[in-house]
Amino acid sequence: MFATAIADLSHGFGVAFQPHNFLACLVGVLMGNLVGVLPGMGVMAAISILLPVTFSMPPVAAILMLAGIYYGAQYGGAICSILLNLPCHPPHAVTCLDGYPLTQQGKGGTALGITMMASFVGASFGITEMIFFAPVLVRVALKFGPPEICSLMLLGLLAGSTLTRGSPLKGVAMTTLGLTLGLVGSDALNGTERFTFGLLDLADGIDVVALALGLFGIAEFLKSVNKIVPLHASRAKLRLRDMRPSRADIKAASIPMLRGTIIGSLCALIPGTGPTIASFISYATEKKLSKTPERFGRGAIEGVAAPEASTHSAVQGDFIPTMSLGIPGDAVMALLLAALTIQGISPGPQLISDHPDIFWGLIASFWVGNILLVVLNVPLIGLWVKLLTVPYKYLYPSALFFVCVGVYSTNNDLFQVGETLAIGIAGYVLLTLGFHPAPILLGFVLGPRFEENLRRTMLISRGDFAVFVERPISAVFLALCVILIGTQIYLKWRKDSVEEPSAPAPIFDS
Amino acid sequence: MKPFARVSRDHYAGGLVALIGLGTIAQASRYDLGTREMMGSGFFPMILGSVLLAVGVLIFVSAGRAAADRHEGNDLGAPEWRGWVCIIAGMSLFIFLAERRGLLPATFACVFVSALGDKNSSFKSALVLAAGMSVLGIALFSYGLKIPLPVLNW
């Protein structure tokens, strides 16, 4: 198993180092890094704006670039948190707690240096986990029939909607809404037009780019306009020398870094618990294990190292269920999966054997991308900090234009731009009512496949729902669903007695 | 206590979800339900509609009082009519102008009008931004990526 992994991986590096793939990866991580530091731009918006551009690219390059945006943004988000106390991206909200005090003490450079080390360690572990774990998962998943796939999807959807931030009930509502939006268009089985309300333009369903840009672009602009406080560029200059952590810092941070990595990789294996939850758990763990917990919140280097390692390890691990089972754990993964589908590649356990270029190329590109990020970030940090001061009044009109052209160019259809606007307004209403839009996308992407497998299951079982509990693997997934719901009810019941770790609320959802 | 103080954000949220559920059920009932063995086009939508309705009712029932909203920091602040109108108008202008009048006027109108939505932007700064984006947009999309929209079409 080890030898084949090495052989596959070297094949992957061959793919990742092909000039156009390398370029795609570089552009991806740079874009990601950029949107990571820009206030008011989310990962989701960036990926969906660039999605139409990737249609004309070969599938491997397209997926490397889109994935690069995702993990590149994590590096950018950490810079925001540490230097400016701005939790631009939810996973890094907890990094503010100790990162910003370190900056105030003049040790911001050290914190960034440690962050980069932690990110790299965490990411490397996450990637290794993927190399060994994904093929095992595939071998199991290839035995799945429609009932197992159904139950697994149900588990994924439930986890994706209840384990994210906010009320679990509202999460379930949004997932179901997403599933419903996925119904729009012709029924795959018999061609009946559903929920098109007589509009011919809706016969092919709602476009995933229009949905994503409406929810994460337009709705965010409507929410943020005149609400973002302009920043003042009065930061002390960072020099390269400042970023090299001292030996004492490295020693203090190394064990927490490893603990964070492991917590992150475990969180990645549980569907629905993405990087945000991983970083919160690892911060809380460090604080609990520390002999001097009172230092936390006042610039403890462990409080930066552990959550950052954890975030990055979880980000890479997020790809495991997506690439090996075809079941995305969150909205970003759902969008990547949609990108693959648009490229004509059907996601699922057969992906690794059918398209080894994509799978192993992607894994190798993670390493290439992470090294690029570390190398690029050192000289570019000054530039990123300057970019942070770009006022929102310039940012959102430009972004709005890119959204318009981006949606138009998916199908050369202005109707879809209107669709995006309508979805955006509806999305803003939902945001105002305290819903998080991410589960909508998850449900939307999984919806058609969920219905198809449900119908097939019922056909096989002759209409007997008991098939889901009679087949052992399916029964396990359903039991996990029940446990998940039970835990949520239990947590709600004793909510008053448990204090959640307090961090500045993330400005943006992604 | 005034009666309205008891209507919190979650009451609206639950009500909206329940309403969407009812709509879905109504629409689903127009399609063939089929049998459990041979599910028709309406079966799955019917399930989804029912789940939405149930969850909506649950959210409504478990909603706290309005006062709790502010306590949880859920306040989104005052309505931002200027920003909203300008963003929606800017995008609508793009849709209206892009094919009829070309990408150049559409880009300019979209960026210019939406930029006016920010309290801090002046007529001049919006003009400069719109002009800049128009040049960039035409160069990138018309000449670079060759999207099938006319540049100018008076």
| Per-residue pLDDT tens over the stretch A108-131 | 888 888 888 898 899 899 888 888
- Whether residues B140 and B97 fall in one domain: yes
> Do the Cβ atoms of A45 and A213 come closer than 8 Å?
yes
Percent of chain A at pLDDT above 70? 92
Q: Do B74 and A434 touch (CB under 8 A)?
A: yes
Please check whether residue B150 lies inside any domain of the structure.
no
Please check whether residue B151 lies inside any domain of the structure.
no
Q: Give the distance from residue A337's alpha carbon to the nearest chain B alpha carbon, in angstroms.
A: 23
- Whether residues B67 and B91 fall in one domain: no
Please check whether residue B101 lies inside any domain of the structure.
yes
pLDDT-wise least confident of A104-113, A393-402, A477-486, B22-31: A104-113
Suggest the residue from A404, A410, A417, A440 to mutate for an interface test with chain B (most B CBs closer than 10 A).
A404
Range list of H helices, A105-246: 108-141, 146-162, 168-181, 208-213, 219-224
Which domain, by its residues, includes B90? 81-144
Pick the residue from chain A with its C-alpha nearest to B100.
A414
Residue A172 is predicted with a pLDDT of: 92
- Whether residues B35 and B56 fall in one domain: yes
- Give the nearest partner residue to A173 out of B9, B39, B55, using CB atoms: B55
Q: Which residues of B touch A403 (CB under 8 A)?
A: 91
Please check whether residue B153 lies inside any domain of the structure.
no
Nearby residues of B45 by Cβ (< 8 Å), 6 or more positions away: A180, A183, A194, A195, B24, B27, B28, B31
- Whether residues B60 and B86 fall in one domain: no
- Whether residues B48 and B101 fall in one domain: no
Residue A144 to residues A8, A40, A152: CA-CA distances in angstroms? 25, 42, 10
The Cβ of residue A378 has, within 10 Å, a number of other Cβ atoms equal to 16
Please check whether residue B76 lies inside any domain of the structure.
no
> Using N-to-C axis directions, what is the helix angle for A356-387 and A59-84, rounded to 10°?
30
The Cβ of residue A298 has, within 10 Å, a number of other Cβ atoms equal to 13
- Whether residues B7 and B65 fall in one domain: yes
At A322-333, the pLDDT tens digits run 888 888 877 888
Q: Give the distance from residue B67's alpha carbon to the nearest chain A alpha carbon, in angstroms.
A: 15
pTM score, whole prediction = 0.84
Q: Which of B31, B52, B71 is the last residue in one of the domains?
A: B71
CB contact, 8 Å: B81 with chain A?
A: no
Question: In chain B, how many domains are there?
Answer: 2
Please check whether residue B59 lies inside any domain of the structure.
yes
Residue A172 or A163, more confident: A172
Suggest the residue from B10, B91, B138 to mutate for an interface test with chain A (most A CBs closer than 10 A).
B91
Q: Which of B36, B71, B106 is the last residue in one of the domains?
A: B71
DSSP state of B34: B
Please check whether residue B62 lies inside any domain of the structure.
yes
- Whether residues B125 and B99 fall in one domain: yes
pLDDT-wise least confident of A203-212, A487-496, B33-42: A487-496
Instruction: Give me the interface pTM, i.e. the ipTM.
Output: 0.90
- Whether residues B58 and B112 fall in one domain: no
Residue B107 is predicted with a pLDDT of: 93
- Whether residues B31 and B91 fall in one domain: no
Q: Which of B71, B105, B121 is the last residue in one of the domains?
A: B71
**pLDDT confidence of A157, banded at 50, 70, 90?**
confident
Nearby residues of A24 by Cβ (< 8 Å), 6 or more positions away: A57, A61, A62, A64, A65, A68
- Whether residues B67 and B87 fall in one domain: no
At B25-45, the pLDDT tens digits run 999 998 888 888 888 888 999
Q: Is the pLDDT of residue A418 over 60?
A: yes
- Whether residues B17 and B67 fall in one domain: yes
- B 112-141 residues with CB below 8 A of A? 112, 114-115, 117-121, 125-126, 129-130, 133, 137, 141
pLDDT-wise least confident of A162-166, A359-363, A379-383, B103-107: A162-166
Q: Do A434 and B9 touch (CB under 8 A)?
A: yes
Q: Do B37 and A463 touch (CB under 8 A)?
A: yes
